[in-house]
Amino acid sequence: MEIDLEKLARQARNNAIAPFSNFQVGAALLTTDGIVFTGCNIENATFGLTVCAERVALFKAISEGKREFKKITIVTDSSKLSLPCGACRQLLWEFCGDIEVEIVNLQGGVAFKRVKELLPLPFDKSNFFEPGDK
């Protein structure tokens, strides 16, 4: 039985709290053992405390002991496809590795990327170098 990540991300999007941006996002993160964790964006009046849907799904999975992931699907209500923010890209790389990222909008647009495409030089131990190195 195939898991419909887009449907689950769309459902999660409906729970978003976005009174300031009116930009609702839903995410569905698939573990390697077939479990799905969903998330929605949750805005706050201070903006700095706002959390993206991708991070909510990831933090839920991690807090439940999951450490291996296969794919994340992200659904937004923008007319153009919207990529994850820099913070989400970094956390996806750090905790999920080079997983597949499916980006969807409500108008039927779909794109597939790998985290490495979205964050080609992530902050991790593999990207430290000596001064003067190229």
Q: Which of 2, 6, 43, 54 is labelled catalytic?
A: 54
> CB 19: neighbour CB atoms within 10 A?
9
Residue 133 domain-assigned (yes or no): no
Task: Give the per-residue pLDDT at 93.
Answer: 97
Residue 57 domain-assigned (yes or no): yes
Task: Write out the residue range of the structural domain in which residue 98 sits.
Answer: 5-127
Residue 31 domain-assigned (yes or no): yes
Residue labelled with tokens 């992530």: 122
68 in active site: no
Query: Would you write out the chain's pLDDT as a tens digit for each of its 134 residues?
Result: 789 999 999 999 999 999 999 999 999 999 999 999 999 999 999 988 999 999 999 999 999 999 999 999 999 999 999 999 999 999 999 999 999 999 999 999 999 999 999 999 899 887 777 787 76
CATH number for 20: 3.40.140.10
Residue 53 domain-assigned (yes or no): yes
Task: Give the per-residue pLDDT at 130.
Answer: 79
Number of domains in the chain: 1
> Alpha-carbon distance 72 to 53, whole Å?
11
Task: Give the per-residue pLDDT at 127.
Answer: 77
Residue 52 domain-assigned (yes or no): yes
> CB 35: neighbour CB atoms within 10 A?
13
Residue 92 domain-assigned (yes or no): yes
